[in-house]
Structure 1
Amino acid sequence: MGHGLDSTLSVGLGAASYASLVAYGAQQFQIEDKTFTPTEQELEGAMDETELQRCIKMEEEMSHNDRMIEERAHERNILESFLFQTKSHLTDPKFGDCFDATSKEQIEGIITTGTFWLEDNEGEEISAEDYKAKYAEFLESIKKLSPKLFEKLEEIEKEKAKAAAEAASVPIVTKKSKPRTNKQKLEAAANKKEHGNKLFVDLDYANAVRRYTQALELVQSLYDETPEQKDEANKLKVQCYLNIAGCLQKVQGFQKAVENCKQALDIEPDNAKALFRRGQAYFELKEFELARDDLTKADKLTPGNKQILHLLARSKNEITKRQEREKKMYSKMFN
């Protein structure tokens, strides 16, 4: 549809029916090379130009409101994630030398204050700028208490950036392994996996993925396996797929992480770690319903896991926010 229509009419298509176009004096226009002439009844029911422009303006306002809602949600998530991650740093041995007893206690107080503030400020009256200001306030306070924490975080981010660039160049297919017995292949695959684990700890995600991929190739080349060898092979496959997914998440490769988690779940449908990791990836991809479904299953398999419960709550919250936005949008549209 749209042969011969000018740009103004094209914009209006989203807000008005065919009858609205008639108000512009389009007595005849082409649709798929067929001439169409409106009836008298359609002419009588047509919107005038003022009404059409009102509809277009309403659409623009709703789009603007949606952008504001998304921006507000984004800034809130930044603040919420910052508080959650900082809290986890306090108990992470890797950051143990960044705090003393006094600074740790004070930072815990700031996190508690921030958490309560978020709980008390969820309405539309809170703007994205309000969340930005609070984030800047808490960030500055914690920086003063532990500058070493942020120095270490900056070093980690640099390592991640380097690893991301290297991981992006990892080839999907590697050289085929030399023929070996099943036992030798399984042993070699286990060694490759362990090497990958060490590389992961060292933040060398690109080479970690290489090792896990090599382990998978070895396992997939088995033949005439015994039942015990099949079990061992499947266990290695699941571990490698999940470890690859973990590496990809570290470098923002969330869609590929989902695919690797699916491979693991094809082997072990009730693997809580795979469900949780895929739920994490779905959340980052803003597929909140899918994240909720995976995290709900993971919670049933491992009840009480704080990480799962936290992300599950965030997923449900995002779904509720989206539903509220849609409800408001449709309410405005039909009112």
Structure 2
Amino acid sequence: MILQIFYFLIGEAARGISPLPPRASVVLSRPNSSRALGDRVMEKRLQEAQLYKEKGNQCYREGKYRDAVSGYHRALLQLRGLDPSLPSPIPNLGPQGPALTPEQENLLHTTQTDCYNNLAACLLQMEPVNYERVKEYSQKVLERQPDNAKALYRAGVAFFHLQDYDQARHYLMAAVNRKPKDANVRRYLQRTQLELSSYHRKEKQLYLGMFG
């Protein structure tokens, strides 16, 4: 019916006849069936993302880190375009994703965060370690969960190996405050403090040589 009206208006306009009053506008609404279909597709993608994430978790437990990475990437791919907090790539069109219920939005963000956190964990087990990616994924987790101790630790490890010791200390101090008994966190914090002490000592010697 909508298409028939649309074609009628086009035909009348082509004959030089205006079928509408001056300054009138036509609004075509989307049928409710299309919205229901979109909701079903969205729900299916959320469910498939969960399945891929669980597959990634199983592969991680089995030590199949590359397969785990693939599972987490597939989960994130299912969620692409669903996040209502992301801006639309087209200006002035509002959020990118469809309308989600609070429960769906919580599930989406939790799944995203878990996948990024687990991706960082996988990459730390794979040689050669891509510390730039570990840093990137850990920081994505911390954007939504600033107190996530595992993400703080992994970000600190990444910055340490990227030789940004000030940032490494920042994240590792935050991690040790949340997990004071974690031996790995304390070990990396100690290594970071040693590197910073060595750097400052060399810097002091350099200045003394220049101005002494």
TM range (shorter): 0.5 to 0.7
Distance in 2 (alpha carbons) for counterparts of 1:280 and 1:191: 30
Deviation at 1:305, TM superposition (A): 2.2
Residue number among 28, 43, 47 corresponding to 1:187 in the alignment: 47
- Does residue 211 in structure 1 map to residue 49 in structure 2? no
Distance in 2 (alpha carbons) for counterparts of 1:254 and 1:206: 16
TM-score, normalised with respect to structure 1 = 0.44
* Equivalent position of 2:163 in the other structure: 286
Distance in 2 (alpha carbons) for counterparts of 1:203 and 1:227: 35
* Equivalent position of 2:124 in the other structure: 249
- Does residue 332 in structure 1 map to residue 212 in structure 2? no
Q: Give deviations 1:73-126, integer Å, cap 9, x for gaps.
A: xxxxxxxxxxxxxxxxxxxxxxxxxxxxxxxxxxxxxxxxxxxxxxxxxxxxxx
Q: Give deviations 1:250-304, integer Å, cap 9, x for gaps.
A: 2310011111111111122221111111111111112111111001111223333
TM-score, normalised with respect to structure 2 = 0.68
Q: Secondary structure at the match of 1:276?
A: helix
Distance in 1 (alpha carbons) for counterparts of 2:181 and 2:123: 26
Residue number among 229, 243, 262 corresponding to 2:104 in the alignment: 229
Alignment of 1:99-114 (within 5 A): none
Deviation at 1:191, TM superposition (A): 1.4
Distance in 2 (alpha carbons) for counterparts of 1:300 and 1:233: 29
Amino acid at match of 2:116: Y
Alignment of 1:142-221 (within 5 A): 180-221=40-81
Residue number among 148, 156, 172 corresponding to 1:271 in the alignment: 148
Distance in 2 (alpha carbons) for counterparts of 1:228 and 1:303: 34
* Equivalent position of 2:138 in the other structure: 261
Distance in 1 (alpha carbons) for counterparts of 2:150 and 2:162: 18
- Does residue 238 in structure 1 map to residue 98 in structure 2? no
Q: Give deviations 1:170-199, integer Å, cap 9, x for gaps.
A: xxxxxxxxx753333222212111211222
- Does residue 295 in structure 1 map to residue 172 in structure 2? yes
Distance in 2 (alpha carbons) for counterparts of 1:309 and 1:229: 38
Distance in 1 (alpha carbons) for counterparts of 2:211 and 2:60: 53
Q: Give deviations 1:28-58, integer Å, cap 9, x for gaps.
A: xxxxxxxxxxxxxxxxxxxxxxxxxxxxxxx
Distance in 1 (alpha carbons) for counterparts of 2:194 and 2:175: 18
- Structure ranking higher in helix proportion: 1
- Runs of 5+ unmatched residues, structure 1: 1-178
Distance in 2 (alpha carbons) for counterparts of 1:321 and 1:203: 37
Deviation at 1:201, TM superposition (A): 3.3
Q: Secondary structure at the match of 1:327?
A: helix
RMSD between aligned residues: 1.8
Distance in 2 (alpha carbons) for counterparts of 1:202 and 1:253: 21
Q: Secondary structure at the match of 1:181?
A: helix
- Does residue 310 in structure 1 map to residue 170 in structure 2? no
